[in-house]
Structure 1
């Protein structure tokens, strides 16, 4: 029990310097891509009002919301009124509902930040993890889907993921399929949530749940599962939706997206997937997930959600987004290894009398734009201080012993070659600047 107090809560992690630097490089790669596409950043609170989040993710999603109990005088009630954000999409919808008149139209935003799920932790699955999103609000143009898909694909490549496939389907096509199979409208959403489990459960188990939990008859459930998982599922779905106006419209939108984005995403990286079902209730049009060889589940997802902002009390504006789950990507990149950033100059302190000089050297270097550190240990042994400089991956070390101090000079040591050069204090910064720019 004593050791547990020093461990992070289950499903969360501590990130030391090497891990943080690796993560920041991945995030920065995504930021550069998103800003090239004209997306602007947005940051929202880590927690929201519980009522803001509930009812947006379906019954299964609502169970995973991390609720925060009432505080202060109400702490004994056992009731919750706040919750940690489940994703970055619903907070975006709230922002647009609140600040719509102050935002450009269309509003193109990106966000990178932690989200939380009250889920059972497992391999590659955490309770706290980072999402990386781009969204466009306020345009129904098919170019929007193409833009966010291309931006997401470019971000994945920039992050270091070259081999991936974007699977495309349409919520309209799936709704049309429910109609064709005679699934009542009040059961369709639940049936789609169950179908969304096809990538995790056996088809027979999904069919059984459609019967037992969603109220479909045995024949309909089995045919539905069979048709969306068959080798010729694409042909079956297109044939089934010929007489469904909504379903046919959804397929046309998928075809248009493939036509627009396909040439730019890359050969073989994007295709229609009739068995793809996004379980979230708020999707209204094209939907997608991204899978990569060797990685479990999906590494990104998204789609069009045209009524979520209105559901938040805002205007009825269209929206579309692409969300990258960066944890699996970072995990696939391997251990952070030696990600320690080097410093330009390590300033040794050979005698207590020279502390002021050492600090002055470091400050001048920092103000000139170079990374410099002063030795903060108690030892005045040169060997120990040079080892510290090597551990900090310094390019140069400044040495000032009694002879240098008397001559108003400093010895500059090249930490890679071991070469040393004595320079005057007055010429030190010119000499270092020249060396560091090489």
Structure 2
């Protein structure tokens, strides 16, 4: 039975210190993205059920939370259960990512938006995950997307903006792993997988970090044993080149020579050209502490990706801390005509877990310790003066155990305190003492 005082399983409460760290990170991310020319939008947390299950969200559609229609009669409920089709009972659902709402937003407002639209969208999403470390049923995504730009400039802008955001968050050692879906399809063709089996094969290859190369080959034998063996040989040749990618000291540089050296001759020329041009453009353009590497085994599970794909690794996290890619066919599902689009999402929850709130963040926070029988009118006047000077002010009633009170206030981020005495008339009369003493 659920504990009535705990939040629902897979969801969390945030104490003030946690919330402050999250807001600090959000401020940095938004500030960097705005500086790079992106504009913030907001979409509803709820979308039409049919839209959320239109085949755009990949496996995440299976994890979506549905909202029952209002006024369902018991007989309709029983009939839906008996027919094994409970979906007919829902007309709305909680969004499971921000990309599907963005494409609907763009289709709705295209006439009001610039030809190339650069968006910021940050907000909560919901998935019926099996709760575990780093995976929650409610979590925040922080996305930037560029819609309307078919060329490589869009990828360049996304990578440079995201890399600066990661650097300003203090996440040194981030590696942006890059691949191209066309390279993956080229590898599958080279190994002998027929096009009809490509999607299933990629789902298996995406498990590489969980089941290893031998596990991938074993699973792919069920599709095509000969092709699976050929792919296994490619993976075996690539594995040594990928060593060290997670800490940024090794891996495969994003250059034409390095890419071609690990791929079978003639495989996926178009994808190689794309990544080589991206690597050349990013040369010297990334901040210290962030690097970019080619990873031919990177898949990204979403089936809507059509070209470049990205994923961010950090040595302090066992999972990716960001990812994205180009999804040129997705907007057209709503608009009736294809529009080029590419996006990059920071895994906000995993990023926040890696952060420590730096000292001195925000305005100086001070505590005013007052007597229970003091003049509240004067106390509020003092507080108003300090707030007007840019301070954050907390009122604390004097206690017998002042040591415990001051320790608690310091733990909550306050830096100094002052006692309000009977003769304290203005803020200039306050004698502040650092809480670190």
Q: For the residues of structure 1 that align with 2:204 and 2:265, how far apart are their CA atoms?
A: 20
Q: 1:400 to 1:112 in 2, by over 3 A?
A: same
CA offsets, 1:118-159, max 9 Å, x none? 221222222222211111111112111111011111111111
Aligned counterpart, 1:366: 387
Aligned counterpart, 2:286: 265
Tell whether the 8 Å contact from 1:177 to 1:241 is kept in structure 2 after alignment: no
Of 108-117 and 133-142, the range deviating more from structure 2:
108-117
Tell whether the 8 Å contact from 1:22 to 1:339 is kept in structure 2 after alignment: no
Q: 1:57 to 1:236 in 2, by over 3 A?
A: farther
Aligned counterpart, 1:330: 352
Aligned counterpart, 2:314: 292
Of 280-289 and 343-352, the range deviating more from structure 2:
343-352
Tell whether the 8 Å contact from 2:38 to 2:118 is kept in structure 1 after alignment: yes
Matched, 1:416 2:434: yes
Q: How does 1:180-329 map to 2 (within 5 A)?
A: 180-212=190-222, 216-231=223-238, 234-235=259-260, 238-242=263-267, 247-265=268-286, 269-313=291-335, 315-329=337-351
Give the TM-score normalised by structure 2. 0.82
Q: 1:252 to 1:23 in 2, by over 3 A?
A: same
Count of matched residue positions in the alignment of Structure 1 and Structure 2: 402
CA offsets, 1:158-207, max 9 Å, x none? 11211021111111122223333332322212221221111221223222
Q: 1:291 to 1:219 in 2, by over 3 A?
A: same
Tell whether the 8 Å contact from 1:180 to 1:240 is kept in structure 2 after alignment: no
Tell whether the 8 Å contact from 2:48 to 2:92 is kept in structure 1 after alignment: yes
Shift of residue 272, structure 1, vs aligned partner: 1.4
Higher helix share: 1
Aligned counterpart, 2:5: 6
Tell whether the 8 Å contact from 1:300 to 1:325 is kept in structure 2 after alignment: yes
Q: For the residues of structure 1 that align with 2:131 and 2:408, how far apart are their CA atoms?
A: 36
Tell whether the 8 Å contact from 1:290 to 1:300 is kept in structure 2 after alignment: yes
SS in 2 for 1:73: coil
SS in 1 for 2:271: helix
Gaps of 5+ in 2: 78-85, 242-258
Aligned counterpart, 1:423: none
SS in 1 for 2:139: strand
Tell whether the 8 Å contact from 2:324 to 2:344 is kept in structure 1 after alignment: yes
Q: 1:51 to 1:131 in 2, by over 3 A?
A: same
Q: For the residues of structure 1 that align with 2:426 and 2:382, how far apart are their CA atoms?
A: 13
Tell whether the 8 Å contact from 2:146 to 2:154 is kept in structure 1 after alignment: yes
Aligned counterpart, 1:132: 142
Gaps of 5+ in 1: 419-438
Shift of residue 350, structure 1, vs aligned partner: 5.2
Shift of residue 62, structure 1, vs aligned partner: 2.5
Shift of residue 410, structure 1, vs aligned partner: 8.8
Tell whether the 8 Å contact from 2:237 to 2:262 is kept in structure 1 after alignment: no
Shift of residue 302, structure 1, vs aligned partner: 1.0
Matched, 1:113 2:123: yes
SS in 2 for 1:132: strand
2:377 corresponds, among 331, 343, 356, to 356
Matched, 1:91 2:106: no
Tell whether the 8 Å contact from 2:174 to 2:313 is kept in structure 1 after alignment: yes
Aligned counterpart, 1:52: 51
Q: 1:342 to 1:305 in 2, by over 3 A?
A: same
Tell whether the 8 Å contact from 1:98 to 1:314 is kept in structure 2 after alignment: no
CA offsets, 1:365-401, max 9 Å, x none? 43454433444x5xxx676689757744363535232
